[in-house]
C-alpha cells in the first residue's frame, strides 16, 4: 500500500458507513486526508467516522440531489472543497429478471448510477477551479459478465461508461476519473444472503484462482493508488480487483482438465 501523505486532500466517500467505504475512510484518514463520510444510516456514519481519524460525517440519501447539495456546501465550509470523490454507495435487488419490479430497477439505478452523476456534478466546479481532482467510481464484476442481479449489473455497467465520459471530458482540466471493479468482497452487505444460505461465501471461493474472497482492504488500497500521484497518468480505466475471477473460470477448468490444479 502506498504511504504517500494526503494532508492537502478532502476526500468524500459515499456509502461509507460500513464495509468497503468505512475501510476506505480509515485508509485515507491514516494518510492525513480530511475525510468526509456520507451514508443513509446516521448511526453507521457516525460509527465509521469515529474509526477514521478526524473524519466528519453526514446522513444523506444519495438519490436526494437537494440533500447532497447541502452536504457539499457544508463540507466546503468545514473542510474545504472536495478534491477526491469516491462513489461507493450501492443497493442490489435480489429478484430474478422476470420478477423484478420497476421500483426495484429504479432504486438500483438511482443509487448505483444516478447518484454518481449527482455527486460528480456537485464536486466538479471546485475541482475545475483548483485545476485538479480525482473521481473513483466503485463498479462491480457484475458489469462485465452475467452474475445475476440484473438491475444492479446494468447500473454498474453504466457507472463504467460514466467514468470514461468524465475522464475524456475533464482530462484536459487536470481531473482524472477511474473505476474499481471488485469481485466478491466480504462485507456486511452479504449478511442477508448468508441468512438464506450460510455456505454461500465459502461455496463462492471455488470460482477464484487466488482461492480467497476479497476484503474491503483490497478495494481501499486500489482507491488510494488510483487517487495518488503514482497513478497520475491513469485516466478512464477500470481496475479489476477480483483475485483473477475475470481471467477465467477455475472451477470449470478443473472439470474439463481434472488434473489441471495438480500440475
Residue 253 covered by a domain: no
76-127 pLDDT tens trace: 999 999 999 999 999 999 899 999 999 999 999 999 999 999 999 999 999 9
Q: To which H or E segment does residue 177 belong?
A: strand 175-182
Q: Give whole-number Cα distances, 197 to 50, 202, 216, in Å.
A: 32, 10, 22
SS3 125: helix
Confidence of residue 263 (pLDDT cuts 50, 70, 90): low
Nearest to 261 by CA among 183, 206, 214, 212: 206
Q: Which of 12-21, 144-153, 177-186, 254-263 has the lowest mean pLDDT?
A: 254-263
Say if CB 15 and CB 88 are below 8 A apart: yes
Determine the Cα–Cα distance for residues 259 and 255; give it in Å rounded to an integer. 9
140 in a domain, yes or no? Answer: yes
pTM of the entire predicted model: 0.93
Question: pLDDT by residue (tens digit) across 118-153?
Answer: 999 999 999 999 999 999 999 999 999 999 899 999
Question: Residue 29: which H helix or E strand, with range?
Answer: helix 19-30
Angle (CA) 85-234-109 rounded to 5° is 45
Q: Is residue 108 part of a domain?
A: yes
Q: What is the pLDDT averaged over residues 197-218?
A: 87
Give the 3-state secondary structure of residue 16: coil
Looking at the annotation, which residues are catalytic? 152, 156
How many domains does the chain divide into?
Answer: 1
Predicted confidence band of residue 29 (pLDDT cuts 50, 70, 90): very high
Calpha distance 78→71 (Å, rounded):
10
Asked if the structure places residue 43 within a domain, the reply is yes
By three-state DSSP, how is residue 77 classified?
Answer: helix
CATH number at residue 117: 3.40.50.720
Helices (H), 110-243: 115-130, 150-170, 191-196, 200-204, 216-226
The residue length of the chain stands at 263
Task: Report yes or no on 66 lying in a domain.
Answer: yes
Residue 192 maps to a domain? no
Cβ–Cβ < 8 Å for 26, 52: yes
Whether the per-residue pLDDT at 191 is higher than 90: the answer is: no
Consecutive H or E run containing 231: none
Q: For residue 119, what are the domain limits?
A: 10-186+213-245
Instruction: Give the model's pLDDT for residue 1.
Output: 54
200, part of any domain:
no
Long-range contacts of 36-44 (CB under 8 A, 24+ apart): 36/10, 36/11, 36/12, 36/71, 36/75, 36/79, 36/82, 37/13, 38/12, 38/13, 38/14, 38/62, 38/71, 38/89, 39/14, 39/15, 39/89, 40/89, 41/17, 43/17, 44/17, 44/18
Domain assignment present for residue 202? The answer is: no
Amino acid at each position: 500500500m502506498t504511504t504517500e501523505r494526503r494532508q492537502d486532500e478532502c476526500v468524500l466517500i459515499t456509502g461509507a458507513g460500513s464495509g468497503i467505504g468505512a475501510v476506505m475512510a480509515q485508509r485515507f484518514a491514516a494518510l492525513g486526508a480530511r475525510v468526509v463520510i456520507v451514508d443513509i444510516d446516521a448511526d453507521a456514519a457516525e460509527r465509521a467516522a469515529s474509526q477514521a481519524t478526524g473524519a466528519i460525517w453526514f446522513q444523506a440519501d444519495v438519490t436526494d440531489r437537494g440533500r447532497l447539495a447541502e452536504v457539499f456546501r457544508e463540507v466546503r465550509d468545514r473542510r474545504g472543497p472536495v478534491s477526491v470523490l469516491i462513489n461507493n454507495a450501492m443497493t442490489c435487488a435480489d429478484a430474478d429478471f422476470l420478477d423484478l419490479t420497476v421500483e426495484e430497477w429504479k432504486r438500483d439505478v438511482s443509487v448505483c448510477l444516478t447518484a454518481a452523476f449527482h455527486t460528480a456534478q456537485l464536486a466538479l466546479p471546485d475541482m475545475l477551479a483548483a485545476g485538479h481532482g480525482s473521481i473513483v467510481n466503485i463498479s462491480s464484476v457484475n458489469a462485465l459478465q452475467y452474475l445475476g442481479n440484473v438491475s444492479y449489473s446494468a447500473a454498474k455497467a453504466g457507472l463504467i461508461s460514466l467514468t470514461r465520459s468524465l475522464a475524456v471530458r475533464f482530462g484536459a482540466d487536470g481531473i482524472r476519473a477511474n473505476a474499481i471493479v471488485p469481485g466478491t468482497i466480504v462485507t456486511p452487505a452479504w449478511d442477508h444472503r448468508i441468512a438464506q444460505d450460510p455456505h454461500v461465501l465459502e461455496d463462492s471461493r471455488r470460482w477464484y484462482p487466488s482461492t480467497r474472497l476479497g476484503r474491503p482492504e483490497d478495494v481501499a488500497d486500489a482507491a488510494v493508488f488510483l487517487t495518488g500521484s503514482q497513478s497520475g497518468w491513469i485516466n478512464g480505466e477500470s481496475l479489476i480487483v477480483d483475485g483473477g475471477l475475470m481471467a477465467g473460470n477455475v472451477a470449470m477448468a478443473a472439470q474439463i482438465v481434472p488434473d489441471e490444479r495438480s500440475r
